[in-house]
Amino acid sequence: MWGANYHAHSAGVIFTTEDRDLFLPADADNELRAWNACRREGFELWSGQEPLREPLDAFLAEKVVSNRALVRAQGHDLLIDLTLVMSGFEFEEVWAKRRVFTVQGVDVPVASLSDIVASKAAAGRPKDQLFLATHEDALRQLLGGRFGRKT
Amino acid sequence: MRRGASARPSDPGVERALRALDEIHRTVPLETRPVVLSAEYLRAVAQVEALAENQTGADKTWVERVVRQSREHFASARRIR
Would you say residue B81 lies in a domain?
no
pLDDT tens sequence across B5-46: 445 456 666 666 666 666 655 655 566 788 999 999 999 999
- Nearest chain A residue to B47 by CA distance is A148
- The boundaries of the domain holding residue B13 are 5-75
Count of domains for chain B: 1
In a domain, A125, yes or no: yes
Q: Chain A: nearest CA to B76, how far in angstroms? A: 14
Please report the ipTM that was assigned to this predicted complex: 0.84
Q: Is residue B80 part of a domain?
A: no
Q: With respect to residue B55, please indicate whether it lies within any of the assigned structural domains.
A: yes
In a domain, A14, yes or no: no
For residues B36-63, give the mean pLDDT.
94
| Candidates A8, A118, A149; nearest CB to B63 | A8
**What size, in residues, is chain B?**
81
Is there a contact between A124 and B34 if contact means CB atoms under 8 Å apart?
Answer: yes
Is residue B58 domain-resident?
Answer: yes
> Cβ separation of A14 and B64 shorter than 8 Å?
no
* The pLDDT of residue A35 is above 90: yes
Sign of torsion over alpha carbons B47, B53, B57, B59: negative
> Is pLDDT of B1 > 50?
no
What residue numbers bound the domain in which A101 lies?
Answer: 85-151
pTM of the model: 0.78
Average pLDDT for residues A110-117, to the nearest whole number?
95
Cα-Cα-Cα-Cα torsion A43, A44, A46, A51, nearest 10 degrees, comes to 170
pLDDT at B34: 86
Q: How much is the pLDDT for B2?
A: 42
User: Quick one: pLDDT band at residue B52, thresholds 50, 70, 90?
Assistant: very high
State the pLDDT at residue A38: 97
B29 in A contact zone (CB under 8 Å): no
The total number of structural domains in chain A stands at 1
